[in-house]
Chains A and B, each alone.
Chain A
């Protein structure tokens, strides 16, 4: 069985300051991990994915995440927030093959103020 816990339901930052969205996972396998973003009235867009290669994964729009097996974490970071980053972010885990279904976290709403 696999699960994902996103530790914050809401995160508020000021434009230009760093972003940290926290995610812990549980998996019986070597997991594949993903971050998806959902802007209002839009679909789920893949930000980045970890599939057992490099532990530091770079994604789109300046986001990156680090897989830490010892901490079972996959936190999402960005050095400098932009107003357009305001959205809901989902941490997602799938099984080792990646063919299995996705298990989503509850999501973290990122609010960016001027």
Chain B
């Protein structure tokens, strides 16, 4: 069964450093998403991406965040200058039509 692949599974970074989280969506999917879950809290929407541009973003997704689809297969989330409160599990998802997501297994980001 096709999967959404996220790397790395765990990342530890120092406060103020840039971090890039990587995702390989399912190959024929057209819609891509990032969600995050701070420990003990709800899974929250960050951003959706379609046709090579952001289609929707939450208030969490400020200027410190950016997304990119640098080639035909990868979908990345960059955090420019990490803060302690960015520590969370980050989930990538993709969808053929915008309905019915497939989620990856997540990247646990720890900012120290």
Contact = CB atoms under 8 A, between A and B. Distances in A.
A43 B45 contact: no
Interface stretch (B14-22, B67-75, B79-87, B93-101): B93-101
Interface string B37-52: 0000111110010000
Nearest to A102: B45
Contacts of A84: none
B56 A105 contact: no
Given A90-B43, A101-B56, A104-B43, A43 B98 contact: no
Q: What interface size band does chain A fall in?
A: 20 to 34
A74 B9 CA distance: 32
A42 B102 CA distance: 12
B35 A102 contact: yes
Interface of B: 4, 9, 33, 35, 41-45, 48, 56, 58, 91, 93, 98-106
